[in-house]
Amino acid sequence: MNMCLVKVMMMIISYIYYCLFMITLVHSQIIDECIEGRCGENEPTIRFPFRLKGRQPPHCGYPGFDLSCNNDSNQTILHLPNLHLKLHVKKIDYQRQSILVYNPNCVHKQNWKFLNLSISPFSFGGSCMLLNCSSNHSTDKVLLSSPIPCLSNTKYSVYAMYDSNYPSNIWRDVVSCRRMYQNLPISSGIFQSNSSLGWSKPNCTHCEVKGEKCRLMKRPHDHDLMNNIDQIECYNDNNQTIKKGGPSQIPLVTAGSFVIILGFLASTFYVYHFRKNTRQNGLRIEKFLEDYIAFKPSRYTYADVKNITSEFKEKLGEGAYGEVFKGKLSNDIFVAVKILNSVSNGNGEDFINEVATIGQIHHVNVVRLVGYCADGFRRALVYEFLPNDSLDKYISVRGPIDDINVCSLSWEKLLDIVLGTAKGIEYLHQGCDKRILHFDIKPQNILLDHNFKPKIADFGLAKLCSKDQSIVSMSTARGTIGYIAPEIFSRNFGNVSYKSDVYSFGMLLLEIVGGRRCNNTDEIYYPEWIFNLLEEGEDLRIYIDEGGDGKIAKKLAMVGLQCIQWHPIDRPTMKVVVQMLEGNEELSMPPNPFSSTNQSKQSTKMPQRFMTTMELETITE
């Protein structure tokens, strides 16, 4: 029995030796076939992921990276069948994974409408638009680049411009021009002279920085080569290149390979599962990157907006800014589309504020801008859809029970909501390159997702400033009465700064504790009423479900009173506010925020102050 096993093992080992010997010979031939080359003396070096089509077999290059040589001029040619272009290759940067090309011919109009760059392995450096400009307006040409000769004539000139100029230059009037095509997914350099193309797959950067080269791991005898094109490996050209007909290296390579094969056979099961998990992780990362690209704000036409909203079929709400409709993108993601009316459009400042601020914010507690529309005089903003409406719908009175306010959300859930809101405001103040001041924090602008996680919305009144700028210039008040800090009305109380948002957040907390909106002049002034109750050591006269609810309500009240101190210097930062809301320590009684305006303490039973909620007109600064 043992002899049979020995014979079987010897047969297996002999077979392995034979296979390894053949692999070594084939390997030496592959290396010779894939040796780097060039079309001419001054032409760029061609190696993986590129190959010279017709001179090297397919396994020497990556699919889609085929180059050819012009027999007449010895120039290196890159053929892009999806653009019907043959580009001259001037330089290949393997470390940065970019290729510099020159287009000697014109890109024909009939090809633009049928661009399908998803099948191209190269990225074209963003998107561009084509402008048709009459030649008798020289003032416009200063704003534009050189015209495209093959598309221009004596009557008009055609220009290519990057779409990235928008929306920052969206209001620039180029009076003699009209748009021919917009959002062409190619670089404007394709229409003129030199253009740089990049590629992300295969990623050989880690090989190049080590001074090594890379290649496909699979060999031509593998039937699944095209299904495993992502698998590449680094190799050292000095040590691993085996010259054809060099048998002196074969025994060494065979012995080393035999040891590796035995180790591989002993750990096949482990490697199988490891590779399976690695592939799944790679797919997960790829899906994330695709989603990330999809999350960047997109520009839509008005026709797109009508299609997304099914001709404005389902209306979600309406305000001074315009109407909001529910919509669905092509990938079945629901969105909320805000159609700006002529009043909110104005000179475009609110629209620019929204796109310029929220378009660059990525935070779990800030609503995401999916896209925007600026089609002539029509403007719209496309947001992620949040099914649970805004916070003000959940803190209004549900019904009086002996003068006790009943809230539709538990106090624990309300604490989670205000904590998330505070973190969102803190991110706006400290987490971005520039400090973002919202200037309109109120329950109506705190939207709730399906899990009642809060997201700050409506950045139409927002203002950007540097983090080292402690004072913000403002020519007129902005915000909602009842939530506006005193210094916005009068500089006698202090300078306008990020502490103004802290004041608005404090009023939001006190409105939650009061349990009702502040838009009825018959209501008592809750902030002062709450302060008087706490100062006299009385319980807050609110509805609670559980024993811990009273502590939560008192915490919100104490933090809110600290945030609405009359002078900005006495208010905490949002970072400190988050710490107070997260902490378990007993908070000390804040100073009286109303002592500056009225020294006499009002009765806890019948405070006489009132407040209303109304939008202030926004004036251009």
Given pLDDT bands bounded at 50, 70 and 90, which one contains residue 311?
Answer: very high
66 - beta bridge partners?
A: 51
User: Do residues 563 and 577 make contact, with C-beta atoms less than 8 angstroms apart?
Assistant: yes
For the beta carbon of residue 522, count every other beta carbon within 10 angstroms. Answer: 5
> What do you get for the CA distance between the two ends of the chain, in Å?
96
Topology of the domain comprising 388-621: Transferase(Phosphotransferase); domain 1 (1.10.510)
Cα-flanking dihedrals φ and ψ of residue 91, to 5°?
A: -160, 145
Candidates 392, 440, 501, 549; catalytic one: 440
Task: Look at the block and give the residue holding tokens 């998803």.
Answer: 118
Which of 159-173, 328-342, 566-580, 590-604 ranks highest by mean pLDDT? 566-580
Q: How much is the average pLDDT of 131-159? A: 67
Instruction: Report the C-alpha gap between 103 and 219 in whole angstroms.
Output: 35
Q: What is the 3-state secondary structure (H, E, C) of 64-98?
A: CCEEEECCCCCCEEEEECCCCEEEEEEEEECCCCE
338 is in an annotated binding site: yes
Q: Are 371 and 297 in contact (CB under 8 A)?
A: yes
> Which of the residue ranges 12-21, 70-79, 270-279 would you say has the lowest mean pLDDT?
12-21
CB-count burial class (<10 Å; 0-12, 13-18, 19+) for 504: buried
pLDDT, tens digit (0-9, with 9 covering 90-100), for 82-124: 666 788 899 999 888 889 888 777 665 555 555 556 667 887 7
* Strand 156-162 to 128-134 pairing: antiparallel
pLDDT band at 362 (very low <50, low <70, confident <90, very high): confident
Average per-residue pLDDT in the chain? Answer: 75
Residue 440 bears catalytic tag? yes
The pLDDT-based confidence of 417 (bands split at 50, 70, 90) is very high
- Summarize pLDDT for 483-539 with one digit per residue, the tens: 999 998 888 888 889 999 999 999 999 999 877 433 344 556 778 888 888 887 776
Structure-model confidence comparison of residues 295 and 408, the more confident one: 408
- Spatial distance between the Cα atoms of 526 and 607, rounded to a whole number of angstroms: 8
Q: What does pTM read for this prediction?
A: 0.50
What pLDDT is stored for residue 612 in this prediction?
36
The rounded distance, in Å, linking the Cα atoms of 583 and 580 is 5
pLDDT (tens digit per residue) in 3-44: 554 454 555 656 665 666 566 555 555 556 788 888 988 899
Closest alpha carbon to 94 in 54, 44, 133, 60:
44
CA distance 220 to 229: 12
The one-letter amino acid code at 311 reads E
Tell me which residue of 537, 539, 533 sits closest to 605, measured CA to CA.
533
The pLDDT assigned to 87 comes to 84
